[in-house]
Amino acid sequence: MAAGTTPVAVGLRRAVLADGVYEAVKALIMDRHLEPGAKVNMDALARELDVSPTPVREALARLEADGLVTKRPLVGYTTVPLLDADGLTELFELRQLLEPAAARWAAGAIDKAAAAALVSMVADVRKATGSLRGEDYKSYGLIVAHDTEFHEAIAAAAGRPLLGQTLRRLHPHVQIYRLFYRQDVGRETLAEHARIARCLQRKDADGAARAMTEHLAKAHRRFLAGLAARG
């Protein structure tokens, strides 16, 4: 068998292709080339990306798990509608129920290395992004990835896998809202994350829960202000 044609090599190429198509379709959604609530034309996507329909179908299945598309019988896939003010409030109410508790549990369970990694994560992203205010998904990539990674790391440190799964379905709504309303997610978010991380490093359960509560409340106010500004 020629080099590069082993089953392992073929499998790797398929995996790389699948991941690439997933990221490409996700970027189309996050950049609003596929508008919120729009029907997804799988064949048109495959032609645009110059791939067969199979990796597009696989990408859409993954994006359904992410909460960015929904699938309905006889209709197919549609992108999720953008949250209105009531939807944003419900989203943050859910996060307020879950994430301060996650921070409290994490403070009791996190080890020194994991806590230090969270502190370093915030510092590294601050250095990498500076005064970032991107205009598309690619520009937001670092900060959005950090936000997701930070909150999911806290859920993981809490030792609650179901909690982590729930948060993974909520976070895409936050990300797509930020992009649609050009939500500035830089300095304030990172400062709030730094306070949470320092509390976790001190194993201050009450402080971590309180810092998380304040962070989510401020984020909610920022989102509603952005929504009001756009009418």
- Residue 46 belongs to domain with CATH number: 1.10.10.10
Residue 16 has pLDDT above 70, yes or no: yes
Instruction: Select from 22, 23, 76, 10 the least CA-distant residue to 54.
Output: 22
pLDDT at 6: 53
Residue 77 has pLDDT above 90, yes or no: yes
Same domain, 20 and 122: no
Same domain, 207 and 99: yes
Contacts 24+ apart (CB under 8 A), 111-114: 112/201, 114/153, 114/157
Residue 22 counted as domain residue:
yes
pLDDT at 10: 47
Please report, as a single letter, which amino acid is at residue 67.
Answer: G
pLDDT tens-digit map of 155-198: 999 998 999 888 888 887 777 776 666 555 578 889 999 999 99
Residue 8 has pLDDT above 90, yes or no: no
- Residue 125 belongs to domain with CATH number: 1.20.120.530
Domain boundary among 79, 101, 134: 79
Same domain, 121 and 73: no
pLDDT tens-digit map of 112-143: 999 999 999 999 888 877 655 555 555 566 77
Which domain does 36 fall in, by range?
7-79
Q: What are phi and psi of 77, to 5 degrees?
A: -90, 140
Number of independent structural domains in the chain = 2
pLDDT at 50: 92
End-to-end CA distance of the chain: 62
pLDDT at 127: 82
Same domain, 114 and 214: yes
pLDDT confidence of 222, banded at 50, 70, 90?
confident
Domain boundary among 45, 79, 113: 79
Same domain, 195 and 93: yes
Same domain, 26 and 62: yes
Same domain, 89 and 73: no
